[in-house]
């Protein structure tokens, strides 16, 4: 259930805040978005009761996007976030988590239609219940619950994807005793990675409704946000789009094989039988669609060309070595002649 702790330190909503943009319709919902929509890695942020106009929420979305994700934070409340003093029962009757979960599933489906191949979801307070419902499906690849409310041990037992749960030891909605039950339930599940962390000295809502002037509160919030981002970087993987590769590599790599981009100058092979290719470091190294490093077609070469270039460079080095050796021999002969003349 919700309580007074859900509305502590309420944000000053601002529909114009953030570095991203607002889509009018994402699976029927307005949504704040950050990052490139062509990125194959996406993160869904499910808000607390104050909705998607909260500056701290949008700041978190911008940070996650800067790490190489397309981030969406939909308006799950249809322009009707909680207002202080309103009856909990009345508000929840209009915005139950079951409807929120159904909307979230539709948003995930829309992201996949848009090209996302790996999706993570994070839920704050009210949003934690929505995200745990997503985590029971195979629709997402990773989940993070930040000081969730209304989540039960039975919910946790049904989780199917890697999940991280971050809570505070002063949280009365999901206290440490409940978090430890979550941890025990997850430990008993085989094949599902999990991490539960209890932050000391922080209340419910600490990661998103912190006072920006309180350095201690900001530090704890940023630590939780860092933990969330690390979880997504680990489990929300990017798969390269073969259309971005050169025609040479497309011919060499079977379309049903996964391929990871090589490091600059590294020789790579897609299989034991497939020929290799090399990447030339240089000016053509550019940002990819998610903000990560990538190369253009002019900087992908065949292994034969790479070997020819290596042979040329080795030959040039040998020539320089021979010249230096000849110079040393001449110098030694000259010194020998000088000594012979002096004697």
> Given this model, what pLDDT does residue 316 score?
73
Residues 204 and 168 sit within 8 Å (Cβ to Cβ): yes
Using an 8 Å Cβ cutoff, are 78 and 241 in contact?
no
DSSP result, 102-167: HHHHHHHHHHHHTT--EEEEEEETHHHHHHHHHHTSSS-SEEEEES-SS--HHHHHT--S-EEEEE
pLDDT tens-digit series, residues 177-210? 999 999 999 999 988 999 999 999 999 999 998 8
In percent, how much of the chain has pLDDT > 70? 75
> What are the structure tokens assigned to 254, written together?
């079977």
More confident residue, 284 or 8: 8
Confidence class for position 340, pLDDT limits 50, 70, 90: confident
Provide the pLDDT confidence category of residue 71 given band limits of 50, 70 and 90: very high
Q: Report the predicted TM-score, pTM, of the whole model to 2 decimal places.
A: 0.71
The per-residue pLDDT for 193 is 96
In this prediction, residues 223-248 reach a mean pLDDT of: 74
Residue 313: pLDDT band by 50, 70, 90 thresholds?
Answer: low
Higher pLDDT, 300 or 221: 221
Higher pLDDT, 43 or 278: 43
pLDDT number for residue 341: 82
Span 142-176, pLDDT tens digits? 999 999 999 999 999 999 999 999 999 999 999 99
What is the distance, to the nearest Å, from the Cα of residue 8 to the centroid of all Cα atoms in its chain?
29
- Euclidean distance between CA atoms 44 and 195, whole angstroms: 19
């Amino acid at each position: 259930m919700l309580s007074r702790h859900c509305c502590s330190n309420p944000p000053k909503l601002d529909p114009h805040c953030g570095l991203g943009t607002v889509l009018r319709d994402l699976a029927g919902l307005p949504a704040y978005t950050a990052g490139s929509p062509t990125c194959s890695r996406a993160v869904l942020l499910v808000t607390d009761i104050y909705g998607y106009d909260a500056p701290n929420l949008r700041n978190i979305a911008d940070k996650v996007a800067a790490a190489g994700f397309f981030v969406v934070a939909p308006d799950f409340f249809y322009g009707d976030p909680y207002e202080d003093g309103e009856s909990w029962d009345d508000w929840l009757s209009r915005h139950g988590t079951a409807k929120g979960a159904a909307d979230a599933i539709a948003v995930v489906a829309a992201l996949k239609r848009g090209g996302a191949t790996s999706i993570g979801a994070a839920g704050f307070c009210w949003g934690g219940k929505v995200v745990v419902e997503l985590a029971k499906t195979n629709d997402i690849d990773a989940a993070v619950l930040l000081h969730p409310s209304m989540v039960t041990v039975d919910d946790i037992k049904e989780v199917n994807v890697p999940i991280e749960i971050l809570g505070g030891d002063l949280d009365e909605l999901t206290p440490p005793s409940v978090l430890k039950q979550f941890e025990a339930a997850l430990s008993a599940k085989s094949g599902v990675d999990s991490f539960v962390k209890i932050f000391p000295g922080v209340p419910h809502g600490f990661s998103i409704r912190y006072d920006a002037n309180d350095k201690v509160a900001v530090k704890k919030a940023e630590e939780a946000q860092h933990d969330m981002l690390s979880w997504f970087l680990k489990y929300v993987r990017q798969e390269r789009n073969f259309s971005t590769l050169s025609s040479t590599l497309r011919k060499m790599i079977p379309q049903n094989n996964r391929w990871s981009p090589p490091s600059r100058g590294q020789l790579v092979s897609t299989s034991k039988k497939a020929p290799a290719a090399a990447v030339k470091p240089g000016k053509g190294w550019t940002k990819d669609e998610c903000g990560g490093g990538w190369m253009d077609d002019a900087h992908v070469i065949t292994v034969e060309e790479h070997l020819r270039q290596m042979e040329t460079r080795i030959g040039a080095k040998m020539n320089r070595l021979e010249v230096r050796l000849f110079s040393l021999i001449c110098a030694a002969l000259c010194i020998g002649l000088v000594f012979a003349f002096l004697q």
